[in-house]
Amino acid sequence: MNVQIQSIHFKADQKLKDYIQKKLSKLEHLYDAIIDSQVFLKVENNHQKINKTIEVKLNVQNQSIFKTQTSQSFEAATDLAVDALKIQLKKYKERLRLTA
User: Residue 70 is part of a domain; what is its CATH number?
Assistant: 3.30.160.100
* Domain containing residue 89: 2-99
* CA angle (14 as vertex; 30, 51 as ends), nearest 5: 80
Q: Are 27 and 34 in contact, with CB atoms under 8 Å apart?
A: yes
The reported pTM is 0.91
* CA angle (56 as vertex; 46, 100 as ends), nearest 5: 150
Number of domains forming the structure of the chain: 1
Total residue length of the chain: 100
* Residue 47 CB neighbours (<10 A): 6
User: Tens digit of pLDDT per residue, the chain (100 long)?
Assistant: 899 999 999 999 999 999 999 999 999 999 888 999 999 999 988 888 889 999 999 999 889 999 999 999 999 999 999 999 999 999 999 998 888 7
